[in-house]
Amino acid sequence: MSPEGRGGRGGQAADDVPEALLGLPNIGRATAGLLTRAGISTPQELRQAGAVEAALRISGVRPEDPPCRSMLAALEGAVRGVRWHAIPKVERERLWEEYWSRNRG
């Protein structure tokens, strides 16, 4: 399932989503809404936080449905300015391991 294929459960009204985030690869309205709820409202803030920190923040605002591997890869792709499919699988796995080690700690 794509990161945006979760039915828009971000809880963010469409009008409240910063347009700048929507210009990033892999970021649609649902993910942009989640990022905003997590305190990330600009591409610069996303790049400064990084994908793992952004995913941890999203998990904090939506603990009942934390980010999946695809969303984490999408966030990393947005940070890099590429579609998430372009990120080698070994790098996506490293990100996932870092996310889970920090999420449990």
Q: State pLDDT tens for residues 5-33.
A: 444 444 444 557 889 999 999 999 999 99
pTM value is 0.84
Task: Please state the separation of Cα 13 from the chain's center in Å.
Answer: 17
Report the CATH architecture of 14-104.
Orthogonal Bundle (1.10)
pLDDT of residue 18: 85
Q: State pLDDT tens for residues 57-70.
A: 999 999 999 999 99
Give which of 27, 71, 69, 62 is closest to 45, Cα–Cα. Answer: 27
**Angle, nearest 10°, between helix axes 43-61 and 69-80?**
170
